[in-house]
Structure 1
Amino acid sequence: LGLLYLNNGFYNNEQILSHDWIKQSTTLAASNQHGEYGFHIWLNTGKNNDSSIRKFPNVPTDMFYFSGFDGQSVFIIPSEKLVVVRLGLTKAPDGNYGADQFLKEIVSSIK
């Protein structure tokens, strides 16, 4: 799914998801007051579209992600042409596994 979103809905030169769906689902939902959620997709734009207040300040603002149980996640960073999948069990009591630093190190390693 991450690659499908990264490639604007295309798989093997075939449009699987419409461009309009990709665009809408990765745009801030009007009904969200926190400014971090599109259509079932978390955004890294910052609360109320303020990029200085982002959950992942060390990762590009164009990143969006799917967040699952216990830290299982798919992160899509279009500006880096990158998809990162984490299939892990988070043991920390607060559920934090240091995702911002994790992603920062991955992005810096490919530059």
Structure 2
Amino acid sequence: DMGGHGFNATLRDWGRFGQFVLSGGQLPQGEKLLPDDWIARSTHWTQAKGSVTAAAPKGQYGYQWWYNAPAPDSDAEPKRTATSDQTFWALGIFGQSIAINPAERLVVVQWSTWKNAESPGSLYDEQAVFVNAVAKALSQ
């Protein structure tokens, strides 16, 4: 038995999954597969020890979703946008990610093969900065 990893799909399928979550668990044909409050519950970040940091003062983990924001001491910009705190992430250990920003109706999927698993936080910062820049550019 194996658990906690191993989801393999095409980039398009990852994007479809992100769109499914963005739609609140509704399929394109209209069938609803998730309870109405599942997204809200799954992104209610835990306050467990280690989850509350300077970058994530409200916590950063819930139901396999993560809050990913650049570290406050990062030089990268934009650290935040008007809606970046609403973005939640599926994060793989080698840099794979699905970022979902419901306020902007934005899904960003990244395939990646970082050299090392759980690489330095600066790489996660770069992902967040990129998604924030995309959201900012699309909102203008």
TM-score interval w.r.t. the shorter chain?
A: 0.7 to 0.9
In 2, distance between residues paired with 1:26 and 1:77? 12
Give 1:49's aligned residue: none
Code of the residue aligned with 2:31 in structure 1: it is E
Equivalent residue in structure 2 for 1:9, among 19, 25, 33: 25
Q: Which structure has the bigger radius of gyration?
A: 2
TM-score, scaled relative to structure 1: 0.75
Tell me how many residue pairs correspond in the alignment: 105
TM-score, scaled relative to structure 2: 0.62
In 1, distance between residues paired with 2:42 and 2:120? 28
Structure with the bigger percentage of strand? 1
Are the equivalent residues in 1 in contact too, given 2:87–2:101 (CA < 8 A)? Answer: yes
Mapped pair 1:24 → 2:41? yes
Report sequence identity in percent. Answer: 30
Runs of at least 5 residues in structure 2 that lack an aligned partner in the other structure: 1-16, 53-58
Code of the residue aligned with 1:99 in structure 2: it is Q
In 1, distance between residues paired with 2:103 and 2:60? 18
Runs of at least 5 residues in structure 1 that lack an aligned partner in the other structure: 46-52
In 1, distance between residues paired with 2:96 and 2:108? 11
In 2, distance between residues paired with 1:22 and 1:100? 20
Give 2:134's aligned residue: 106
Are the equivalent residues in 2 in contact too, given 1:28–1:37 (CA < 8 A)? Answer: yes
Question: How far apart are 1:40 and its partner, in Å?
Answer: 1.2
Give 2:4's aligned residue: none
CA RMSD between the two structures: 2.9
In 1, distance between residues paired with 2:48 and 2:133? 33
